[in-house]
Structure 1
Amino acid sequence: MPCLSASGYPLRGPGRLIHREAFMSHLIVCRHYLAPLLATLLLAACASEPVSQGDASKPGSAAVTGPAIARPAPLPKAQVPRAPASMQSRIVRLLPARTVDRNGWAQDIVTALAKQELAVTDENVCSVLAVAEQESTFQADPVVPGLGKIAWKEINARAGKLLIPEFVVRTALSINSPTGKTYAERIDKLRTEREMSEIFEDMIGEVPMGKTLFGNMNPVRTGGPMQVSIAFAEANTDGYPYPIKESIRHEVFSRRGGIWFGTRHLLNYPAQYPDHLYRYADFNAGWYASRNAAFQAAVSRLSGKPLALDGDLIRYDSELPGKTELAVHTIAGQLSMSQQAIHQSLKLGDTSEFAQSDLYHRVFVLADRKAGSRLPRAVLPGISLKSPKITRNLTTAWFAKRVQWRQQTCLKRLGSL
């Protein structure tokens, strides 16, 4: 006799339907037939033993397991955070024996990382140390050979633009300075950028010709053990943990200030780089220069216009569009963007937001498609380094690779401590 479906509706029998009025009689009969069968099944289930984990591999065993949970890959050793006190002790042992006040260096580096909420890892410590070694060989106030000549050249160049003869300048700087020595004597004996900065400060404040030549702009623009930009430091004072004795400029020339602001410039900004190599390039060329150089390479590929991969997306000396912006204009139709929208996006080139802009994404979608593969999102900028202190033909790429070599050497040594 056919039974009811689970829904309570009659099942189809052989050639006929079970009618509703026979419902109760069918239900009773079904229970009569099914009850013994259900009892047998329950007894069998109770008699069976659970399969242990150890039995799961045996033939005929069937273990029920949940979905596999993927464990996160362990961090590389160089990226594992360390206790500040432990790291400080390791840095002291790592620094060259000739380094003056190794404990002070170690404390300043750990403080800069911890107070800026950056991970105190071997990778970050060695990045800071690599830049400091490259720029100053671990000297808080590094000596610059021939600095007196460099200073005179700068002074005479400013005077020449104002048609002031050199002998007039020499005469004006023969008066005594606040230290008791003449300005000319102090310039002749210059050894460090800190000393040169202080001379120019005195000249601008005390000597009438100092104001004429330099206005209120001290020509010394970088300083300290990491050669950080003074303008950058003055614009990023939030969270500075030390008392400011005289000015941020003076703090930059101290070991603690130079390390603090150097670390801020090197590590404390969001950048999705595959390697710290590109942070070293940015340290030399400016934040996001490596990302922007990759963008310029993509624009050049799409537009067919050769571009200098310098990371500068707009002109900072004029409202007129630069070469990169003009190249983007030629593909504006492909991008479905107006020139005004393009300009507004390019103005974000010094910020992390540029990588989220429509312009950035559309350019790389088209460039990747044309290349047939994903193009790099970071490229070492092709910038020649120019400074009165530089006597060789050096580039940002050279600087970045040199610092990376120092960092890798540091990691090997620090990893053994």
Structure 2
Amino acid sequence: MADSNFIASVDIGSSKIVVLLAELKNNRVEVFGYGQADSDGVRRGVVENAKKVAKVIKKIKKEVIKEYGADFQNVSVNISDPNLKVLNQSAHTHVPSGRVRDSELNTVVKIIESIIKTKMPDNHQDINKVTHHYTLDANPEPINQPLGKKADNLGVSMHIVTASNHHVEAVENSIHWSNLGSSSMVPNSMASSKPCLTQDEKDKGVCLVDIGSGVTDLSVFKQGSIFYSGSLQFGVKQATQDISEAFNTSFQEAERLKIEHGQAQVKLGADRLIKFQQIDDSNYYYLSHESLIEVIRQSYLVLFKLIRAKLNDQNLYRSLKSGLVLVGGGAKMTDCDKLMHSLYKKKVKVGRVNTDLISAKYEWLGPEYACALGLLLFGLDDFESESSGKSNNSFLGKMGVIKRFKIL
């Protein structure tokens, strides 16, 4: 039986698709339902075949309903787009009454929207708008809530993320053809940041790194708000491919070696031999654990250097006073945080879910589920906004207006 009070999320990844089902209890999101299946129709995080993706989602939904006895119709979903565009824009408007009202807030946002239309590529649409801060008159001091304040002029600074129409439509169709309803669409790393970053980290400057199977997504926060979103077409699947090539194994055997024996740095102690099989060969061979680690280490070093180059290109590397937080399946690799620290000389940690916001089984709180869990929080924001008929200002996040699309 469907329950409109349930909150559901769909995390479409390169290697797997995850569905989580939750409800609000004692001011926390309580996750009680989980389903997962191998991805189909997704390459490097991008939906290439919406019908195949929809088929997987429908299968997971059926299993979730059977196991937990709870149906759902509306979901929050993630999006990954290699052509993601990020715009930071400011605008001002006059306050005729001398006190900021809703009308001025709406006006200044419309001004930004009109400016963005002139800067946005023709084949793009905005999927996310987040308010950095407001200013009043000539005072540069940022404020979060200007409503009712005395001022003659109101300023606003916003972060806008745009994605290509093609990729947005592919995600929309994946949801529509799954027989699911209206959704929030959120970039991967923005969703992952919601349950894993503290306000103090956002204030001081931090980068959320979501390492997926085929893609790595970045979100940088400065002065309390999101400032940059980006994507790299490089994920932890590359380490599996490198292992396969280095030791002439099948992809499946390389994945087994990575999961069972992988780590990103050599630890002091005696080396050991690991038994494995090569392609089209029934014989068993042995490789040294250190040689396996070195292949994995080199793969992660390539990724970490690409991330640093991306941050340097945006002049953001030095602003990360709180360092970097790693999430996603790639963050499960033992010592990957230590390897990044040795390269960056900055604070690096594997992200942990804030259990003051989310309650779930321990195995559902791992870094690989950060995106799916974050989507639940965005979904709750939307649910509270729609229930109250007001703008998005719930206790979970007063910072964003997420694109909603209605599917009939």
TM-score, normalization by structure 1? 0.27
TM-score scaled to structure 2, two decimals? 0.28
Q: Which of the two has higher C-alpha Rg?
A: 1
More strand by share: 2
- Higher relative helix content: 1
